[in-house]
Amino acid sequence: MKKAIVTGITGQDGAYLSELLLDKGYEVYGTYRRTASVNFWRIEELGIEKHPHLHLLEYDLTDQANSIRMVMEIKPDEIYNLAAQSFVGVSFEQPLATAQITGLGAVHLLEAIRIVDPKIKFYQASTSEMFGKVQEIPQTEKTPLYPRSPYGVAKLYAHWMTINYSESYGIFGCCGILFNHESPIRGREFVTRKITDSVAKIKLGKLDVLELGNMDAKRDWGYAKDYVEGMWRILQAEKPDTFVLATNRTETVRDFVKMAFKAAGIELEFKGKDKNEVAIDKATGKTVVRVNPKFYRPAEVELLIGNPEKAKRVLGWEPKCTLEELCSMMVKADIKRNEVGFSF
Ligand code: NDP
Ligand code: GDR
């Protein structure tokens, strides 16, 4: 039975990846941070929290000794480093904490592997945020990197350290450059889930208006369950390498807003521009979306679109779920939750 450590099991990807690895017969060690009120709602929703082959471990990525002891005690075959301060907006307010967790944190694990057993395979959760300011369309593994946030810069460091440890010490260190991936268990601070949760509340009469920042930003959105399958395939490849996982389709935040309201049976009309833009419910004439500049970022990534051709060719990986299917799945889940007062 293979053993895998998944850091960040309380997050979206950690929960889905753990589910996938358990299905594949792995012994899974999922890590969570000690907090006053740890929240396992995602693994509970997936029904894996009491799985006999799932072990939950208290672990903090910023603690080197904790990293070494954990790797020494478990001696895993694979480590998937998904833990991070992953919210771009917050990284502008907490650049140093973001650097310590999202950047240096990965090196604590790489060092632990180097010390304990360099044969342990390592997956680093790299990101399309590293592409930042548009250099090339669509973006591939060879596109120059130009991050536009403290989060993107921290991830760039972890990305190159993974490649460096692979080249320097022969560690099987891989990076998946994943474009935005979403699901019904996405955090509510991220724009897609913020939209689908608000659409559900507006539909049920629990909220009047959804406030957003830059609706012109374009993203390549896929389904998280497809992407965790890609992470696993990346570590099963013959040699350590970097892969882009994306859908090769990009839409604006505004397009996603339209799609989500439509999935709830509400047609919108957009009026005004930039900070004065609003969306009106055609049936009632009420304003249901408006811009609040507090959600703008000091520097924005305007356009992301990824070409996953290499992942298809080498790993046989392809995204299966369309954006329309994903959006509708998220809206339906949020309507169901809001009907019973769910609050995560
Ligand atoms: P989430 O924000 O949902 O999850 C992040 C996880 O990291 C949580 O479990 C969180 O714990 C944990 N964590 C945060 N700080 C620490 C710490 N100091 N020590 C240990 N654990 C910590 O992210 P996602 O699941 O969406 O993403 C997974 C990874 O993939 C992240 O690294 C993210 O940056 C990256 N990524 C995500 C993409 C996406 O579109 N989802 C795209 C590309 C990359 P807690 O619950 O306690 O906060
Ligand atoms: P992103 O995701 O920054 O791409 O990072 P997010 O959903 O936060 O933003 C996407 C785009 O929407 C715009 N936007 C808003 N965003 C939020 N969160 N809230 C708003 O109200 C709002 N209004 C407009 C943003 O400006 C941005 O352009 C995600 C994270 O999962 C990272 O960890 C991951 O690495 C990248 O995706 C790929």
Q: Is 149 in the pocket of ligand 1 (CB under 6 A)?
A: no
Strand residue runs (E) in 33-96: 54-58, 78-81
pLDDT digits (tens, 9 = 90+) for 213-263: 999 999 999 999 999 999 999 999 999 999 999 999 999 999 999 999 999
Residue 150 phi, psi (nearest 5): -55, -35
pLDDT digits (tens, 9 = 90+) for 143-156: 999 999 999 999 99
Mean pLDDT value across residues 187-198: 98
pLDDT at 343: 75
188 has pLDDT over 80:
yes
Q: Rounded to whole angstroms, how far apart are CA atoms 182 and 179?
A: 10
Q: Is 187 in the pocket of ligand 2 (CB under 6 A)?
A: no
1 has pLDDT over 90:
yes
106 has pLDDT over 90:
yes
pLDDT at 38: 87
Q: What is the DSSP letter of 59?
A: -
Among candidate residues 10, 127, 242, 250, the one labeled active-site is 127
Do residues 172 and 119 lie in contact, with contact meaning Cβ atoms separated by under 8 Å?
A: yes
pLDDT at 344: 87
Task: Note if 151 is an active site residue.
Answer: yes
Q: What is the DSSP letter of 145?
A: P
pLDDT digits (tens, 9 = 90+) for 44-55: 999 999 999 999
Q: Rounded to whole angstroms, how far apart are CA atoms 133 and 195?
A: 25
pLDDT digits (tens, 9 = 90+) for 155-167: 999 999 999 999 9
Q: Residue 342 — very low, low, confident or very high, per pLDDT cuts 50/70/90?
A: confident
Query: Count of CB atoms within 10 A of residue 238's CB?
Result: 6
pLDDT digits (tens, 9 = 90+) for 288-340: 999 999 999 999 999 999 999 999 999 999 999 999 999 999 999 999 999 99
Measured from the Cα of 128, ligand 2's closest atom is 38
């939950």: which residue's tokens? 56
**Identity (one letter) of the amino acid at 46?**
L
Q: What is the pTM of this model?
A: 0.98
Q: Is 250 in the pocket of ligand 2 (CB under 6 A)?
A: no
Mean pLDDT value across residues 68-81: 98
ipTM comes to 0.99
Q: Rounded to whole angstroms, how far apart are CA atoms 71 and 95?
A: 28
Q: Count of residues for the chain?
A: 344
What the chain holds in terms of domains, given with CATH numbers, is 3-181+220-245 (3.40.50.720), 186-218+251-300+321-339 (3.90.25.10)
Q: What is the DSSP letter of 129?
A: G
Task: Note if 129 is an active site residue.
Answer: yes
Q: Rounded to whole angstroms, how far apart are CA atoms 68 and 81?
A: 14
